[in-house]
Amino acid sequence: MSFLPKSRKARTRLLLFSVIAPVVVVAIGLALWGMRGSISLFYTPSQAAAAKPRPGQSIQLGGLVTTGSVVKHPDGLVEFNVQDRISADHVVFQGTLPDLFREGQGIVAEGTYRGDGVFVASRVLAKHDEKYMPKEVADALKKQGDWRGDGQAPASPGYGVGKGGPT
Amino acid sequence: MIVEAGAFALILALGLSIVQVALSVAGRLRRSAALAGAGEGAALAAFIAVATAFAALMHAFVVSDFSVANVAANSHTEKPLLYRVAGTWGSHEGSMLLWCLALTGFGAAAAGLGRTLPRGIRSMTVATQGVLGSVFLAYTVFASNPLLRVIAPPVEGRSLNPLLQDPALAVHPPFLYAGYVGMSVVFSLAVAALIEGRIDAAWSRWVRPWALAAWSLLTVGITLGAFWAYYELGWGGWWFWDPVENASFMPWLIATALLHSAVVTEKRGALAGWTVFLALAAFTFSMLGAFLVRSGVLTSVHAFAVDPTRGVLLLIILGVTSGLAFTLFAWRAPSLAQGGLFAPISRESALVLNNILLAAATMTVLLGTLYPLIREAMTGESISVGPPFFSLTFVPFMAALLVLVPAGPLLAWKRGDARGVVQRLWVAVLIAAGVALLTVALVSPRKALGAVGVGLGGWLVAGAVTEIVERTRAFRVPAAETWRRMTGLPRGAWGMTLAHLGLGVFVMGAVFETAWKVEAAEALQQGGALNIGAYHVTLDGVRPVAGPNYDADQATMTVTRDGRPICQVKPERRLYTAGGQTTSEVGICYRGASHIYLVLGERRDGGAATAWLVRAYWNPWASLIFLGPVIMALGGLVSLSDRRLRMGVGRRREQPA
Residue A26 lies in a domain: yes
A77 compared with B380, residue with greater pLDDT: A77
pLDDT at residue number B649: 40
Do A30 and A101 belong to one domain?
no
With beta carbons less than 8 A apart as the criterion, state whether B467 and B406 touch: yes
Whole-number Å distance between alpha carbons of B461 and B429: 11
To the nearest whole Å, the CA of A65 is away from the closest chain B CA by: 17
Q: Are residues A18 and A64 in the same domain?
A: no
- Using one digit for the tens of pLDDT, what is the confidence trace for A70-90? 888 877 788 999 888 888 899
pLDDT at A142: 62
Band of pLDDT at residue B454, cut at 50, 70 and 90: very high
**B contact test, residue of A70, A132, A163 with most B CBs within 10 A:** A163
Give the pLDDT band (50/70/90) at residue B337: low
Q: Mean pLDDT throughout B563-584?
A: 85
Tell me the residue type at B420.
G
The dihedrals phi and psi of B537, each to the nearest 5 degrees, come to -110, 125
Element (H, E) at B507: helix B491-516
Regarding whether A32 and A96 lie in a shared domain, the answer is no
Nearest of A123, A11, A153 to residue A61 by alpha carbon:
A123
Which of B73, B172, B601 faces A163 most closely, judged by CB atoms?
B73
Comparing CA positions, the residue from B621, B589, B399 lying closest to residue B516 is B621
Omega before residue B445 within 30° of 0, cis: yes
What is the rounded CA–CA span in Å between residue B251 and residue B19?
A: 30
Q: What is the pLDDT of residues B508-564, one digit of tens each?
A: 999 999 999 998 888 888 888 999 988 999 999 899 998 888 889 999 999 999 889
Are β-strands A77-83 and A71-72 bridged in parallel, bridged antiparallel, or unpaired? antiparallel
Q: Are residues A5 and A49 in the same domain?
A: no
Query: A95 and A30, same structural domain?
Result: no
pLDDT of residue B363: 93
| CB contacts, 8 Å: A126 with chain B | none
Give the amino acid at B452.
Answer: V
Alpha-helix runs per DSSP H in chain A: 8-38, 45-51, 135-144
CB atoms within 10 A of CB B345: 17
Determine the pLDDT at residue A143. Answer: 62
Question: A154: nearest CA in chain B?
Answer: B73
Q: In angstroms, what separates the C-alpha of B177 from chain A's closest C-alpha?
A: 9
Reduced to 3 states (helix: H, G, I; strand: E, B; else coil), residue B268 is helix
Note the residue count of chain B: 657
- Spell out a b/e string for B451-478, using b for 16 or more CB atoms within 10 Å of the CB, else e: bbbbbbbbbbbbbbbbbbbebbebeeee
Q: How confident is the model at residue B651 (pLDDT cuts 50, 70, 90)?
A: very low
Residue A152 within any structural domain of the chain: no
**Is B384's pLDDT higher than 60?**
yes
Given an 8 Å threshold on Cβ–Cβ distance, is A166 in contact with B73? Answer: no
| CATH number reported for the structural domain that contains residue A126 in this entry | 2.40.50.140
The pLDDT, as a whole number, for residue B296 is 65
Domains (ranges, CATH) in chain B? 1-165 (no CATH), 518-619 (2.60.98)
* pLDDT exceeds cutoff 50 at B303: no
Domain shared by A115 and A130, yes or no: yes
From the list B386, B521, B581, which residue is nearest A40 (CB)? Answer: B386
Among B70-74, B431-435, B606-610, which is the least confidently predicted range? B606-610
Which residues of chain A lie closer than 8 angstroms to B73, CB-CB?
Answer: 159-163
Q: Could you give the C-alpha distances from B60 to A134, B129, B209, B222, B451, in angstroms and in order?
A: 32, 29, 36, 28, 53
pLDDT digits (tens, 9 = 90+) for B395-411: 999 999 999 999 988 88
| Of the listed ranges B147-151, B298-302, B398-402, the one predicted with least confidence | B298-302
Residue B486: how many CA atoms within 13 Å on its side-chain side?
12
DSSP B587: E
| Residue A85: inside a domain | yes
CA distance linking residue B100 with residue B607, whole number of Å: 56
Q: DSSP string spanning B357-397?
A: HHHHHHHHHHHHHHHHHHHHHHH---EEE-HHHHHHHHHHH
Count of H-run helices and E-run strands, chain B: 19, 11
- Are the C-beta atoms of residues B175 and B220 closer than 8 Å to each other? yes
Q: Is residue A153 part of a domain?
A: no
The model's pLDDT over B52-70, given as tens digits with 9 standing for 90+, comes to 999 999 999 999 888 888 8
Mean pLDDT for B36-65 is 94
Query: What does the alpha-carbon distance between residue B446 and residue B452 come to, in Å, rounded to a whole number?
Result: 11
What is the predicted pLDDT for the residue at A39? 74
pTM: 0.89
Segment among B242-256, B377-391, B530-544 with least mean pLDDT: B377-391
The answer to whether B434 contacts chain A (CB < 8 Å) is: no
Judged against a pLDDT cut of 50, whether residue B194 lies above it is answered with yes
Note whether A31 and A111 are same-domain residues.
no
Q: Of the candidates B358, B430, B454, which has an alpha carbon nearest to the alpha carbon of residue B401? A: B358
B602 vs B308, residue with greater confidence: B602
- Per-chain mean pLDDT for chain A: 73
| H runs (alpha helix) in B30-80 | 33-62, 69-74
A17 and A58 co-located in one domain: no
Q: Is A164 contained in some domain?
A: no
Average pLDDT along chain B: 87
Same domain, A30 and A51: no
Whether A162 is covered by a domain: the verdict is no
User: Are residues A78 and A104 part of one domain?
Assistant: yes
3-state secondary structure A54-71: CCCCCEEEEEEECCCCCE
Contact A162 B247 (CB under 8 A): no
Owning domain of residue A82: 41-143
Alpha-carbon gap: B248 to the closest alpha carbon of chain A (Å): 8
What are the φ and ψ backbone dihedral angles of B389, each rounded to 5 degrees? -60, -45
In whole angstroms, give the CA distance from residue B635 to residue A61. 45
Q: Give contacts of B356 with chain A, Cβ < 8 Å.
A: 19-20, 23
- Is A163 part of a structural domain of the chain? no
pLDDT at position B301 over 70: no
Give yes or no: residues A108 and A29 share one domain.
no
Question: CA A65 to CA B484: how far, in whole Å?
Answer: 70
Residue A151 has pLDDT above 50, yes or no: no
- Given a cut of 90, whether residue B128 has pLDDT beyond it is yes
Same domain, A22 and A99: no
Q: 3-state DSSP call for residue B443?
A: coil
Q: Average pLDDT for residues B226-241, to the nearest whole number?
A: 84
Q: What DSSP element (H or E) covers B518?
A: strand B518-525
Number of domains, chain A: 2
Q: CB atoms < 10 A from the CB of B423, how many?
A: 11
Distances in whole angstroms, Cα of residue B196 to Cα of each of B157, B181, B325, B329, B335: 52, 23, 13, 12, 11
Question: A with B: how many residue pairs have Cβ under 8 Å apart?
Answer: 197
The contacts of residue B41 (CB under 8 Å, 6+ apart) are: none
Report d(CA B432, CA A138) in Å as an integer. Answer: 51
Residue A16 is assigned to a structural domain of this protein: yes
Question: Strands, DSSP E only, in B253-404?
Answer: 383-385
Q: Which of B89, B141, B295, B382 is the mutation pick for testing A, counting most A CBs within 10 A?
A: B382
Nearest to B509 by CA among B620, B645, B657, B382: B620
SS3 state at B520: strand
